[in-house]
Every structure is written in structure tokens, then in C-alpha cells.
Amino acid sequence: MKKIILILSLLFLNSSINAQKKELPTFITDSLQSYIIQGMKDWQIPGLSISIIKNDKIVFMKGFGVTKVNGSETVDENTLFMIGSNTKAFTATTLSILQEANVLNLHDKVQKWMPEFSLKNSLASRETNIVDLLSHRIGFETFQGDFTYWTSNLSREDVIKKMSLIDAPYGFRTKWGYCNAGYVAAGELIPKVINKSWEETVKDSILIPLKMNRTLMLPDELKKASNVAFPHSKVDTKLVEISFANINNLAPAGSMSSSAKDMTNWLFAQLNNGKINGEQILSAKSIREIRRSSSLLGVDPRDNQETHFYLYGMGLAINDRNGKLVYSHTGGVDGFLSSVLFIPEEKLGIVVLTNTDQNNFYQNLNDQIRDSFLGLPFKNYSKNALQQFKQNELNEIKRIDSLKNIVNKKAKPSLPLKKFTGEYFNELYGDIEIKLENNKLNIYFSNHPNLVGRLEHLQNDTYLCTYSIPIFGIKQIPFKIEKNNVRELTLSVADFIESNPYKFIKK
């Protein structure tokens, strides 16, 4: 009798598995694992963790690779990765929950709760509301000001004060410009309203109710945790482990860490308007609120008109794909890249976490999975993106090599090196100092005490600056000379941090 029951149970189990397989695209059942393994090899990704939800079920959840290059600890579904700007949706949802509790309104003027908040544009100072901060429509250029803040020793209060010094290139509410500082201001409204920190409130409002027990709010917590993926980047085309980014000052914009398993609960809540297993954990209204389109981005040029519009809600991008509404966001922080995507109409949710900041695969994989569930033709996004990535990498190597060739020609500067030393000032950033050490010029940064810019003369009073922290890049720095004296320099860093140049005046 027991044997018959066992046989029947096995037949039922096999039929259930086969039925589930029939519901899934062939790419998921037959090719996904090999696609991931090949992609990690192609893109030199040490570790990756992924979860896919379909029709209220986890259909794929797994870790691949190792937590650090040349390491032996393997990645699994519980491994923690920094999620960067995927933090933003948590910040926006928390504020939406507070609106539901009638303690604030998302259309409240920021100055109502934070009278000291100020922008250079007086109209924007008065009229900026919480939605403006969360939808990136205050007139700033994308990443404008981030060099001043990124991994700096500034506090969140300092970051908000610095916003008043930024020359916004666009009119208030006229153009979308991704603004991390805006999310800092939004997050710091929380203690003004309820006398409780941003990190405590997100944890109590979202993480604990959703049982995201491994998710952490700040990088300091991650350094002490177990089963952690370590950050990696490329230095001279070689993949190396780097330091965890200290971005506590930008925390509401991007400091959280999570795992594929924990993020699955977040996706379940998104796909079911706050419900998990039929129980209303987060209010449906607070979930829907962040999906309201507030900014127009235009059409994503990568999609060749397969996407007809691109909008931004609050911590979420919104677009169409094969007639379905897609909500998504990416996250990038030193050594980590992540992507989150969900399509409520399809009951589909995807999260991809990686521990290198030099790959497009985190998004290619997400797009490939999305298309397979939407029944779209296979495009091999990874292969196509890799070709362009390698070409860009080669172009960058050639650029740096050509500049180093100029250095090697040892052209003499127009003034003695001593003339370049001293303190320089930029209204937004503050002070830097150039010192002559061992017959070499080095730049020291008041906001970044661990950063040094090593200068080598190129030609015509232009120097090659190699930053001691690789994420800041290798850039040309021109000096302006007047009447045999140095007057100013123009400094820039890697676009990953900020593309806007900074003009520093010699004191």
C-alpha cells in the first residue's frame, strides 16, 4: 500500500513539475543557467544572485560564483549586495506610507518641514515639494553635485546645504535630472516630521513587516555582516577588489544592501499591491503612489522604438514593452550593480544583483528574462552590449596611453612647479590644496581626506590627474595662467560619479 502511495505521489510531483515547466518560457527552463554562467565569464563578474517571480511563485532563485575574486565562499540567494539606487523606491514608499498615516502629504512644500531648505532659484526654493525631490524635477543636471558628496566626509545636513550652491541648468519642473541629493533631502524630512531617522523608519515601515530580515540600511552594517559579496572594479583592465563605498551621507539615495531572497518579498509586495500570501502587509495606496508618473524622460534610445515612452515615478522608471507597463530601476555604487523590474499585468518580477561595477550584464540579463516572458524574440542583449563595452574599454585604454606618451616626452611647464602649489576654492565643493612632494604635484581634497590626485605634466599647462581611488578615474586638468601666475584650474572626475567640471580659483 505504501509503495502504491509513493508511486502515485511521484507521478503527481512529476506532473506538477512538467506543468510548471510548460508555463515557463523555454529560455528559462533550458537556457537561463548557461546564459548566466557564460555572461559572468564574458563580463568578469565574480558573483551574481537572481530571483524571478511569476504568478505568485518563485520560479528561479539562485546564487552564482563567489563573493570575491579568487575567493572560495560561494554566492547564494541570501548573499548580501549593495543595491545602490534601488534604495530610492524604499525611501519613496516610506514617505508614501507616512502620507497614508496623515502625518505629511507628498505635495507638501519642502520648506514646510525643512525651512532651511534652499536652492539658487528662489521660485524653486519656495515651491519644491516632496514629489519634486522624489521624481528628479528640480532643474539639476543628472548627477550634478555628486563629486562634492560621493564618499565624502560631508554629513546629510551638509549635502542639503550644498544644494543651494548648485547652478541648475534647467528651469524648475521643466526637465528630468537624476539628483541623489534630492533623495537625501526627502529622506531627512522624516526625522523632521516624526522625530525618527530615515533608516529606523524604513526598517520599521517596510523591512520588518515584509520579513526582509537580512536587508541592511547602511554600509557600516554590511562590513560586519555574514555572507556578504565584496565590491569589485577594474584597474588597468584587471578586476580587483575595492573598498565598500562610505555613502552614509547619501543613504536615502543608495546605501541599502539586500539579498535576492529578501528582494523577492519586496517584489511580491509590488506585484500584489502590498499583499503577501493574501495578507495586506503594506497599504495598496502607498504602493501605487510611487508608480504615478511625474517626469517625462522620452524614449529609451537603446530600444529602437520598441518602447514608446519612458517616464519616472518616485524611485521607479516606467515604460511600455509589448503592450505591458514595466516598472524598473537600476542601482550602481562602487563595486556593485543591480536591477529590479516588475510587470504587474504579467505578475512577473525580477531582481539581479552583481558585485562588480564594470558590467552591463546585470541589466542585459533582466531584459532577456523580461522579453522571454513577454514572448518576444531572443536578442542576446549580453553579446551585443559586450561588443560595445569592449570597444569603449579599448578606447579608454588608448586615450590614457596617448596621454601617458605625452607625459613621457617630458615637456616643461611654463612655470616652476612651486607656482602651482597652494589652496584653491570652488563655491560648491570648497577647498583643495596642491602640494609639491618629491618634485611631484599632488592634489588633496577637503571633502575627501582619503583621495589624492597625482599630477603629471602633459603640455600647455595641462596636467594628467590620476586619482588614488580608481573609481574617480584619470582625467586632464588644465590650469589658467595670467601674468606669470596660476589663477585657476578645471577639475573633473569619472562620469560614473559626475560629468560636470569644477572650476577652482587659486586663493
Using CA of residue 166, residue 169, residue 175, residue 176, what is the dihedral sign? negative
Model confidence at 16: pLDDT above 50: no
**Mean of pLDDT values over 492-507:** 96
Of 17-26, 88-97, 258-267, 490-499, which gets the smallest average pLDDT? Answer: 17-26
Report whether 343 contacts 323 (CB < 8 A).
no
Using CA of residue 205, residue 206, residue 212, residue 216, what is the dihedral sign? negative
Model confidence at 81: pLDDT above 90: yes
**Mean of pLDDT values over 45-68:** 97
**Mean of pLDDT values over 414-420:** 95
The burial of 2, by beta-carbon neighbours within 10 Å (0-12 exposed, 13-18 middle, 19 or more buried), is given as exposed
Give pLDDT, residue 300.
56
| Mean pLDDT estimate for the chain | 93
The Cα-based distances of 368 to 61, 376, 402 in angstroms read 16, 9, 37
Cβ neighbours for 68, distance < 8 A, ≥ 6 positions apart: 46, 47, 229, 230, 232, 241, 355
Q: What does CATH list as the number for 410-506? A: 2.40.128.600
Per-residue confidence band for 11, with pLDDT thresholds at 50, 70 and 90: very low
**Mean of pLDDT values over 329-339:** 97
Give pLDDT, residue 305.
58
**Mean of pLDDT values over 443-458:** 96
Give pLDDT, residue 22.
57
| Pairwise pLDDT comparison (18 vs 76), residue with the higher score | 76
Cα–Cα distance for residue pair 148/196, rounded to 1 Å: 27
Q: Give the pLDDT confidence of 277-330 residue by residue, as tens digits.
A: 889 999 999 999 999 998 888 765 555 557 888 999 999 999 999 999 999 999
Nearest to 106 by CA among 129, 90, 128, 126: 129
Give pLDDT, residue 309.
87
Per cent of the chain over pLDDT 70 is 94
Cα–Cα distance for residue pair 442/434, rounded to 1 Å: 5
Q: Give the pLDDT confidence of 92-106 residue by residue, as tens digits.
A: 999 999 999 999 999
**Mean of pLDDT values over 125-130:** 97
| 27-392, CATH topology level | Beta-lactamase (3.40.710)
Model confidence at 235: pLDDT above 90: no
Q: What is the model's pTM?
A: 0.93
Model confidence at 1: pLDDT above 80: no
**Mean of pLDDT values over 195-207:** 97
Report whether 282 contacts 93 (CB < 8 A).
yes
Cα–Cα distance for residue pair 473/446, rounded to 1 Å: 18
Model confidence at 367: pLDDT above 60: yes
Nearest to 175 by CA among 217, 138, 202: 138
The x, y and z cell numbers of residue 86, run together, are: 534601488
Tell me the domain boundaries of the chain: 27-392, 410-506
The x, y and z cell numbers of residue 178, run together, are: 537624476
**Mean of pLDDT values over 111-129:** 96
Per-residue confidence band for 201, with pLDDT thresholds at 50, 70 and 90: very high
Model confidence at 87: pLDDT above 50: yes
